Amino acid sequence: MNPQAKLIFTISLLLGTTITISSNHWIMAWAGLEINTLAILPMISKSHHPRAIEAATKYFLTQATASALVLFSSMTNAWYTGQWDITQLTHPTSCLILTSAIAMKLGLVPFHFWFPEVLQGSPLITGLLLSTVMKFPPITLLFMTSPSLNSTLLTCMALLSTALGGWMGLNQTQIRKILAFSSISHLGWMAIIITYNPKLTLLNFYLYALMTATVFLALNSIKASKLSTLMTTWTKIPPLSATLLLALLSLAGLPPLTGFLPKWLIIQELTKQNMAVAATTISLLSLLSL
């Protein structure tokens, strides 16, 4: 890709993210999400491989539908309450539509179908952007509207996401698909706690972004895309292989490592909220992905 074009797309990506996370008005937030989507599409399809074009098309259709739903929910809310402020989302129907729209943007179950396919068709660095930077604006919107969201719907989606993320990742040989299902599983943890303690969701997201960045950049260095390629890297670059192993275990949430910290805090918070059953279920389901 032409360096000037790459620079323009990167700046647009940062601009879209900044507009969304710093806006108070729904139209501005929507505009930021649209700029983001349009900036990442050429990055996904830059290899001109049919698989990459398919991934870009799937990504575009899903994100366009989700953005339309975000706009629809904010307009419904403005129609009934006269408020365009993001924090003033009070109408129940609008809250439901918004929860579904953001679940679709993030790739929560049952709107998760596009994410593994898109990640599989993208280059590793674009995959990293899709897993971290592109998730940040929707999570910020969830954070800002968290007091008015439907906690029952989010809890159901979260438990399903954690279950599916673990189960579907079991029989995969493609590393990008495993990381996609790991992302869906992590989103489950973030979604279950957002209505009770939104700051924990942000902590979880930051740590997830850090660990995912480590994994993707390590894989990019050793040019690995299948599990079979990983088997032979130990002989070539032992220190990087050891780091990658630790990063993967941390991403799965093994107790002494960093990835366990947000899960521990979330389980603690859920127990305080008298949701011990949900806490037990999500803990057992995350063992699958480990």
**Per-residue pLDDT tens over the stretch 244-279:** 999 999 998 888 899 999 999 999 999 999 999 999
CB-based burial, 40-54: b 16+ in 10 Å, e otherwise? bbbbbbbeeeeebeb
Tokens linked to 55: 């991934």
Residue 234 pLDDT grade (very low, low, confident, very high; cuts 50, 70, 90): confident
Q: Could you read off the pLDDT of 163-206 as tens digits, one per residue?
A: 999 899 888 889 999 999 999 999 999 999 999 999 999 999 99
**Which pLDDT score, from 0 to 100, does residue 133 have?**
94
User: What 8-state DSSP symbol labels residue 273?
Assistant: T
| Lowest pLDDT segment from 21-25, 142-146, 233-237 | 233-237
DSSP assignment of 170-223, as one string? Answer: TT--BHHHHHHHHHHHHHHHHHHHTTT-HHHHHHHHHHHHHHHHHHHHHHHHHT
β-sheet bridge partners, residue 226:
174
Three-class secondary structure assignment of 24-93: CEHHHHHHHHHHHHHHHHHHHCCCCCHHHHHHHHHHHHHHHHHHHHHHHHHHHHHHHHCCCEHHHCCCHH
Residue 212 pLDDT grade (very low, low, confident, very high; cuts 50, 70, 90): very high
Q: Could you read off the pLDDT of 25-67 as tens digits, one per residue?
A: 999 999 999 999 999 999 999 888 999 999 999 999 999 999 9
Tokens linked to 166: 């673990």
* Domains of the chain, residue spans: 1-139, 150-289
**Which pLDDT score, from 0 to 100, does residue 276 have?**
92
Total residues belonging to the chain? 290
The Cα 76–Cα 96 span in angstroms is 11
β-sheet bridge partners, residue 174:
226
Return contacts of 143-148, CB within 8 angstroms, 24+ apart. 143/194, 143/198, 143/201, 143/202, 144/86, 144/87, 145/86, 145/87, 145/89, 145/95, 145/98, 146/194, 146/195, 146/198, 147/195, 148/89, 148/90, 148/95
End-to-end, the C-alpha distance of the chain in Å comes to: 37
**Which pLDDT score, from 0 to 100, does residue 189 have?**
95
Would the pTM count as exceeding 0.85? yes
User: Is the pLDDT assigned to residue 289 strictly greater than 80?
Assistant: no
